[in-house]
Each structure stands twice: as C-alpha cells, then as structure tokens.
Amino acid sequence: SKTNESMMQRRVAAVPRGVGQIHPIFADHAKNSSVVDVEGREFIDFAGGIAVLNTGHLHPKIVKAVEEQLHKLTHTCFQVLAYEPYVELCEKINARVPGNFAKKTLLVTTGSEAVENAVKIARAATGRAGVIAFTGAYHGRTMMTLGLTGKVAPYSAGMGLMPGGIFRALYPCAIHGVSVDDSIASIERIFKNDAEPRDIAAIIIEPVQGEGGFNVAPKDFMARLRALCDEHGILLIADEVQTGAGRTGTFFAMEQMGVVADLTTFAKSVGGGFPIAGVCGKAEIMDAIAPGGLGGTYAGNPLSCAAALAVLEVFEEEKLLDRCKAVAERLTTGLKAIQAKHKEIGEVRGLGAMIAIELFEDGDHARPAAALTSQIVARARDKGLILLSCGTYYNVLRVLVPLTAEDELLDRGLAIIAECFDELT
Ligand code: PMP
C-alpha cells in the first residue's frame, strides 16, 4: 500500500525542488475541514489549501453544480463561443465588489494572472507604466507579480532582476515599527527620488497582507492612500486574492476599509476549490484594452464558473458571513487564551476569520521566533492539525480554516495549538 514516505521519494525524483512542500503528506480525500492522507490518517485542515476553501472541501452544493455543468459543457474558450455561467458570474461579482459605479469583470484562472491583468489594464487606462507595491507584499510568482512581491528569498532568488518600473513603499505595520506616516512618507519619497506621480499607473495593495503576515492596513492609511491616488490620477488596485470571498467578515475586505479601489483582483476561495480568478473594476477602466488584448484559453472555464456561482449561493444560503464572525470570535478567544500563557505570542491579529499569531523569542518584538514557528507547524501536524506559517520573518502562524467548520473542530484545532505551545516553550 502507498505510504507518504514512498510517495515523497517519487515526488522528489519527478518534481523540481523549487515547488516547496510544507507537510510531507499526500492527501487522498477530504470533506469540509478534514483531510485523509494516503495512509488513512485524518487531519484537521486549518490551511484550506491556502485560503481557497472558505466553503470547505467538496461542499455538496458546489460538487453538484460542477457535476451538472460537467454533463453540459466543459470548454469552448469564451473568446470563441461564449457561455452564460461566465457572464452570470461577472454580473454577480460586479454587484458584490465595493464601489457605487458601473463595473465590469474579466475572468482568468489564477491569482497571479489576475494581478498581471490588473496591471495591464491600469497601464492601458492611464497611459503610464510605473507601479508601486509594498514591502512584504505577495502578488504571485509570474514575472511581473514576482516584481511586485515584496520578498526576494525564496520567491525570486537566483532568477535575476524582475521587470522594471516597480517601486517599493513601506506597508504600515505597527509591531515592526512602520507607522502610517512612515508609509505615506515612503510613497512621497518614491515621487521625489524615483518616479514622478504622472509616470505611476497604479498602487497595488493587499487590504490585509496574506503571505506577508496577516497585517491589516489601517483605515486612515487607506483613506490617505486613496487621496494620494486621486490627487495624482493613479489607480488603486486592491489585491483581494487572499482576503476575498468572505474571509474577513465581509465578502471583500475593502468593504471595511472606508474607501473603494478602482480595480479589485480576486481568486482562491471564490472558486471553492476550482481554479478561477479575475479582475473587477470601473467599467471605463476595464474597457481600456481593445478587443483581443484580454483573455486566455481556459480563462473563466465553465466548470470553475459553475463552482464560483455555487460558492456565492452557499454564502447566502448558509449565511457564511455571519458564520465568519462566530468563527473569528472563537478563534480569537482561543488564541488569546494561549497567548495569556505564553509570552512568545506577541500579537493575535487579523480581520474577521483571517487570524494569525506572531511569535517572538521571549516576547521581544525585535527577535522574531522563526524556528519555534516551524517547530509548532511540524508538531501540530504530528498531532493531526494542518497549519500554515507566513510573515516576512517566517514567524507568524495563520489560520485559514473553512468557515463551514464546526465549533467542535475549531476547538480541537485550538487545543492542539495550545498543546504545542505547552510542549515547545
Ligand atoms: N495575490 C495574493 C494576495 C495572494 O495571496 C496570492 C496567492 N497566495 C496571489 C496573489 C497569487 O495567486 P495564485 O497563487 O493563484 O497565482
């Protein structure tokens, strides 16, 4: 019979090492918030395939919608023969993305592709080529998005310089000493030192940084960023690939930020486990690119559109935004109780159910505890809990458990995290 170890050997021989793997586990099947590996061991899934499974593994309504679509049509390429699920999904996304103006949506397949296209659209709409991105940002692994991603190792190390015209501003992060004023000043500094505002097409920001450590952009920062963009005719792109689809308590995190973006990228949990992503924005901006300039063979695949439409229905029917608040409260309370006993946990933070804890040696905010963080991820897995870390300093533990997870499963996961801290600190 198959073992994780034998599968790992085949993987190492057949797959390049650049494709990392956090847990030496091969999944066999899954349901809602549990995954069973090839050896028959069950794990609690607090990772959700990196923010993809807000509706859980194999949600029955999503499976049914995809099965129905599977018997009708799997592919035409939307640019050859169109189909209704693509248009219907765009209509629904247009209605859900914040902003009191006419919107249009482009569908693609991955978050990186969505960001690539948002930048292309911003360039076409403004006639400018520069883009400002932030420290600690994660926007993808394609060439342009690697340039935007604010972490060299491991993402772009060894690959040479990424495309030019990208400028780096500081993401506000109080715990690491970057104030909102510092952050705004870093943009003003770019305008003074590197590029005139009239050469900047867009500023791209994650309203809550995902890979960067679940740092929440303060509302007053967002207001000042919006004002800067308006002053200089720069477009604001909200990358909601990780924050979107209800993770933060609203369908999009920008609903809580007090300002609206010109362009919004989405992916991950919008598809409930099927590959779909897109860019939604002001209609006139979205129309800046001429026919033929947008699209892709598989972009907006019918199966993925059917899945995404089902995700939206599940959110309504199961009131998942309300459930998100309950999950957020339970996780926050549980994690704060662990923090009260362990000085290593410097902060419990997040927005909605996008919650993380940041670890420091002896609680000293100048000494990120990367080793302890990876030890906890490994020990939790040995105890049956799949966790993910993140953060510029590799010292943040994040929770991306399905919003459909039962309270009892959340409590079991929290208990395992508590045990790990008791044993390792
Ligand atoms: N933007 C953000 C905010 C992300 O978190 C990610 C993925 N972690 C991406 C873009 C890239 O998405 P994908 O991996 O689907 O290309």
Q: Are residues 303 and 270 both part of a single domain?
A: yes
Which residue's CA is the closest to the ligand 1 atom numbered 5? 242
Residue 140 Cα to ligand 1 midpoint, Å, equals: 5
pLDDT of 278 reads 98
How much helix, strand and coil, in percent to the nearest 5, is found in the chain? Answer: 40, 20, 40
The atom of ligand 1 lying closest to the CA of 142 is: 16
The atom of ligand 1 lying closest to the CA of 275 is: 15
Residue 129 Cα to ligand 1 midpoint, Å, equals: 22
CATH number at residue 12: 3.90.1150.10
Angle at 137 between CA 123 and CA 122, to 5 degrees: 10
* Contact status, residue 390 vs residue 356, Cβ threshold 8 Å: yes
CA 89 to chain centre: 20
* Torsion (CA) 328, 334, 336, 339 in degrees, nearest 10: -140
Q: What is the DSSP string of 22-79?
A: SSS--EEEEEBTEEEETTS-EEEESSHHHHT-TT-BT-HHHHHHHHHHHTT-S---TT
Last residue of a domain, one of 294, 317, 340: 317
Q: Would 376 be classed as within a structural domain?
A: yes
- 332 closest CA partner among 208, 417, 211, 250: 417
Q: Would 67 be classed as within a structural domain?
A: no
- 123 closest CA partner among 34, 31, 202, 14: 202
Q: What is the ipTM of this complex?
A: 0.99
Helices within 194-264 (DSSP H only): 219-232
Residue 290 Cα to ligand 1 midpoint, Å, equals: 26
Q: Are residues 190 and 287 both part of a single domain?
A: yes
- Can you state the angle between helices 320-341 and 302-317, rounded to 10 degrees? 80
Number of other CB atoms surrounding residue 278 within 10 Å: 27
Q: Would 68 be classed as within a structural domain?
A: no
Helices within 209-270 (DSSP H only): 219-232
- Can you state the angle between helices 320-341 and 407-424, rounded to 10 degrees? 20
CA dist 319 and 335 (Å) reads: 24
Domains held by the chain: number: 2
Residue 241 Cα to ligand 1 midpoint, Å, equals: 6
Q: Are residues 291 and 327 both part of a single domain?
A: no
In this structure, the residues whose C-beta lies within 6 A of any atom of ligand 1 are 50, 110-112, 115, 138-140, 206, 210-211, 239, 241-242, 267
Q: Are residues 165 and 244 both part of a single domain?
A: yes
pLDDT tens digits in sequence order for the chain, 425 residues long: 799 999 999 999 999 999 999 999 999 999 999 999 999 999 999 999 999 999 999 999 999 999 999 999 999 999 999 999 999 999 999 999 999 999 999 999 999 999 999 999 999 999 999 999 999 999 999 999 999 999 999 999 999 999 999 999 999 999 999 999 999 999 999 999 999 999 999 999 999 999 999 999 999 999 999 999 999 999 999 999 999 999 999 999 999 999 999 999 999 999 999 999 999 999 999 999 999 999 999 999 999 999 999 999 999 999 999 999 999 999 999 999 999 999 999 999 999 999 999 999 999 999 999 999 999 999 999 999 999 999 999 999 999 999 999 999 999 999 999 999 999 99
pLDDT of 1 reads 79
Q: Are residues 130 and 92 both part of a single domain?
A: yes
Q: Would 64 be classed as within a structural domain?
A: no
- Burial letters for 310-323: b for 16+ Cβ neighbours within 10 Å, e otherwise? bbbebbeeeebbeb
Domain region containing 410? 4-58+319-424
139 to 113, 211, 241: CA distances (angstroms)? 10, 9, 8
Q: Would 112 be classed as within a structural domain?
A: yes
CA dist 181 and 352 (Å) reads: 25
What is the tens place of the pLDDT at every residue in 271-321? 999 999 999 999 999 999 999 999 999 999 999 999 999 999 999 999 999
**Amino acid in the structure at residue 190:** I
Q: Are residues 211 and 99 both part of a single domain?
A: yes
Q: Are residues 246 and 160 both part of a single domain?
A: yes
Q: Would 226 be classed as within a structural domain?
A: yes
Residue 117 Cα to ligand 1 midpoint, Å, equals: 13
Which residue's CA is the closest to the ligand 1 atom numbered 12? 111
The atom of ligand 1 lying closest to the CA of 209 is: 3
Q: Would 189 be classed as within a structural domain?
A: yes
CA dist 137 and 206 (Å) reads: 7
Last residue of a domain, one of 263, 283, 317: 317
Q: Are residues 249 and 361 both part of a single domain?
A: no
Q: Are residues 401 and 335 both part of a single domain?
A: yes
Q: Would 66 be classed as within a structural domain?
A: no
Last residue of a domain, one of 264, 291, 317: 317
CATH number at residue 291: 3.40.640.10
The atom of ligand 1 lying closest to the CA of 206 is: 3
Which residue's CA is the closest to the ligand 1 atom numbered 14? 111
The atom of ligand 1 lying closest to the CA of 211 is: 5
Q: Are residues 254 and 308 both part of a single domain?
A: yes
* Torsion (CA) 29, 33, 39, 41 in degrees, nearest 10: -150
Q: Are residues 310 and 339 both part of a single domain?
A: no
Q: Are residues 49 and 80 both part of a single domain?
A: no
Cβ-proximal residues to 326 (8 Å cutoff; 6+ apart), any chain: 407
